[in-house]
Structure 1
Amino acid sequence: MRFLKPCFVGRCGALALLPTQAFAHVGDHDSWWTLDPVIIAPMSLLGLLYLSGLLWLRRRNHAGVSMQPLALSSAALGSLALFFALIWPLDAFSESSFAVHMAQHMVLIAVAGPLLAMARISIPMNAALAAVSPAAATALSHPRKWLRLLLMPFVIFILHGATIWTWHSPSLFELALRIEWIHTLEHLSFLLAGYWYWTVLIRHGENEGYASASLSVLATLMHTGLLGALITFAPRPLYATYVQTQGSVDMALQDQQLAGLLMWIPMGACYLIGGLAFAAAWLRNVDRNQERRLQTSSHTIPGSK
């Protein structure tokens, strides 16, 4: 098979050495940085809102879940993932390589999104907003009835999957490459889909829905793996832009196969870890419920201590 040729294996090895080797082969760039105000300004404002909310909660001794070490470390790692995906260095080199572009998408939807969901960033951000405008914070915390559909695990599973499959269709993907605002919308939708998908699953899991949450994540692993396999084994390049940037059909096909493998394996590993985490939480919850039932039954048996 073509994707097992030595030169392709060498490109896989090069990607494993990011960023010291891989980016040297995907095009000539003046800078590894993408200093786009359209990206940096919203990220900075949201980060400021988050930090302000944390300080507001701390001053009032409201040490909730968002102030726990896991949440704070998740917020830091999620911010770092956004930095790598949108500012340095993935965005600059995604123009030349579909594999790097796929890595960028993977970081947005399967790394940054889940980490920010685990950080519970909405709690301090809502607190900061309430300090400025209580009415606006109240309105955001009580969504309209039709928006409550977005809190249903099955609905968000469909929307999350549709986001991934739709944006990787050749026609829409090429359109995003040509029109900047559509490209920005694409990346925003990946981030929001990843964040909201995991936010809903975490909320659902805490209401004793760990089993269905783990099944949802494992189903996502399977359909994203299928898409990755389809991209990997495609007999021709799917995206004409990367034939031009790679310089030949053969190089573009190898780059595409590497992109498919990135979606298939590393992205699949992210969902596998998440699914196993929900499954472990489900088993712990089952054990706790059994212990409660045993304790209750022991108190109801006559003569039991």
Structure 2
Amino acid sequence: MTLLYWLQPWEPSPTVMICTLLAAVVFVRGKRHARVSLARQLSFWFGLGALYVVLHTRLDYYFEHEFFMHRAQHLVLHHLGPFFIALAYPGAALRAGIPFKWRQRFVRPVLAARPVRVALDIVMHPVVAVGLFVGLIYFWLFSPIHFIAMLDWRLYRVMNWSMVIDGLLFWWLVLDSRPAPPARLSPGKRVLVVIAAIPPQIVLGAFIFFTPRELYPVYSICGRAFTWLSPMRDQQIGGLLLWIPGSMMSVVGALIALRHWMRLSARGRLAQNRRSARPTSNQAERIHT
């Protein structure tokens, strides 16, 4: 089997192709005008490429027929791919890549619309962000819902896209390197947000690993890709993927957020640093006199 064989989509999706191509074109256009280092470019392309591979290649067959492969897919969709895209800080490049007239006519009015601003304020709230990030994992792994999602191709795609979108929102919030404002959260809150997402992932991963019964029989009903792997072993590997790599990604995110916090503090760019550096009225009078 050649590389071309594996790159062919198992189930072609115009949505994946259009979204991937659009993001690539906008980024290429934008990086000509915005300063994007080579490391950030590599991070963006790795994240975008990883999302495409797990959404639109022959591997999708295995994601649909083995639980541990499905968990590997969602590890990329929810953690790895969005993480590296957010780590590239591509906002300026993507904004510059959109034609100016389009930004004026479409993008700014949409972002300025009250429903959009309210929706972003809600999903970017730290409590809601953690709840969505962890809650979607629990929701799609709830056995009855998971059973239906793996049988209905429409719900299957909704599941995958919900993980991608939520992953992008969460990591964009956590890995923001700017002080607040303009960032939505202060550096300290960003560290706390990503740390809060670790224990629930460990608990669910451990539960799936140690459960003595088959939680996801849909893979046995539809036929498994790897007949040599028992259902329980498949389930245990899937639980470990959620338990260890998923949690470790959050630990790495917390370390990066902590690094941004220390860097901003050292440069005096935190809000409390700016307030302490601002002279009081009495001090200002003495300086003036």
Deviations 1:92-121 (A, max 9, x none): 212221011110011110101112222344
Deviations 1:187-234 (A, max 9, x none): 000111110001122348632722221121112121111111111111
Distance, in Å, in 2 between the alignment partners of 1:128 and 1:93 is: 36
Distance, in Å, in 1 between the alignment partners of 2:112 and 2:88 is: 21
Equivalent in the alignment of 1:146: 118
Q: 1:152–1:69: structure 2 CA closer, same or farther, 3 Å change rule?
A: farther
Matches within 5 A, 1:193-272: 193-203=166-176, 206-207=179-180, 209-244=186-221, 245-246=223-224, 251-272=230-251
Equivalent in the alignment of 2:9: 34
Distance, in Å, in 1 between the alignment partners of 2:107 and 2:57 is: 33
Equivalent in the alignment of 1:44: 17
Equivalent in the alignment of 1:20: none
Counterpart AA for 1:214? V
- Using the size of structure 1 for normalisation, the TM-score is 0.75
8 A contact 1:232–1:261 mirrored in 2 = yes
8 A contact 1:130–1:136 mirrored in 2 = no
Counterpart AA for 1:217? V
Q: 1:55–1:254: structure 2 CA closer, same or farther, 3 Å change rule?
A: closer
RMSD: 3.1
Equivalent in the alignment of 2:129: 156
8 A contact 1:49–1:125 mirrored in 2 = no
8 A contact 1:78–1:113 mirrored in 2 = yes
Equivalent in the alignment of 2:287: none
Matches within 5 A, 1:16-27: none
Q: 1:42–1:124: structure 2 CA closer, same or farther, 3 Å change rule?
A: farther
Equivalent in the alignment of 2:34: 63
Aligned pairs, number = 262
8 A contact 2:31–2:97 mirrored in 1 = no
Counterpart AA for 1:242? Y
- Using the size of structure 2 for normalisation, the TM-score is 0.78
8 A contact 2:194–2:254 mirrored in 1 = yes
Distance, in Å, in 1 between the alignment partners of 2:241 and 2:50 is: 16
Shift of 1:238: 0.7
Distance, in Å, in 1 between the alignment partners of 2:6 and 2:92 is: 37
Q: Any unmatched runs of 5+ in structure 1?
A: 1-29, 301-305
Counterpart AA for 2:127? F
Shift of 1:83: 3.1
Equivalent in the alignment of 1:23: none
Counterpart AA for 2:105? A
Structure 1 position 104 matched with structure 2 position 77? no
**Aligned residues with identical type, % of pairs:** 24
| SS of equivalent to 1:95 | helix
Q: 1:197–1:58: structure 2 CA closer, same or farther, 3 Å change rule?
A: closer
Distance, in Å, in 2 between the alignment partners of 1:255 and 1:150 is: 34
Distance, in Å, in 2 between the alignment partners of 1:84 and 1:57 is: 24
Distance, in Å, in 2 between the alignment partners of 1:254 and 1:175 is: 22
